[in-house]
Structure 1
Amino acid sequence: MLPEVHCQKYRQFQQVVEELLALASETEGDSKTLKVKVLEMQQLFQEQILGLGIDDLDPSVASCVQSYQTEMHKQQRLLGNEVLFLQTCQQPQTRARRLAQIRERLEALSRYLVVVLGEASQEDARRSPPGH
């Protein structure tokens, strides 16, 4: 079970990811804005999510959370690379392909967050008596 403070931080991070996904979907590749927002998202992840600590969690939950944190970190690094490549794109087709890849990475991050937050909810449900 994730403590409420963890859930709040993950929800906050999830909101940033969703805002960035909307930005990547609405714009035609404003790479400067995307770069700034991705850097802000990465900083938030480093400070807020990785700073939470998982030592106090149930070992099975901690293992799951750590696995998802690793995958989220990887997606963010790849996302940063995609944004850098977007900045150098000259051809509209290449820009469109890069933007699609950026959206895919953000959607993956969003799915990971849903799972982590869902695990917290499922764990809460398992611990509470039926009918409550």
Structure 2
Amino acid sequence: MKDIEGLDDIKLFVDEFYQKVRDDDFIGPIFMNAIADWGPHLQKMYAFWNAALFGVPGFRGNPFAKHAPLGIQPPHFDRWLQLFDETINHNFEGIMAEDAKNRAQMMAVMFMKRLAALGGDAHKVVY
């Protein structure tokens, strides 16, 4: 296996990961109810991961604000991370693959801390 080397690899893992998410009985319904058109969402995720892993400009958005109103709890984050790690491990190995998994873990922890600070009230989110 090779490492994540650029946008083509990002598209591969993002597409595979979000297919797993959609098919998942636990977190799939949350995402399916929140995302009407997957095309634009996937484009944003390509740009997000390209910026996160390679510093390529182009991502605009506030991921936390989009996720806060969804009622996501720690078990949902655990499942999200499990699917993400499975996807990366199935396709890649190396420094960037580990970096992607670490970044996903850090995002999940940060989101959970911010959600806990809101006391479960997503309407307190500052956009």
TM-score by length of 1: 0.39
Q: Which has the higher helix share?
A: 1
Give the greater-gyration-radius structure (CA): 1
TM-score by length of 2: 0.40
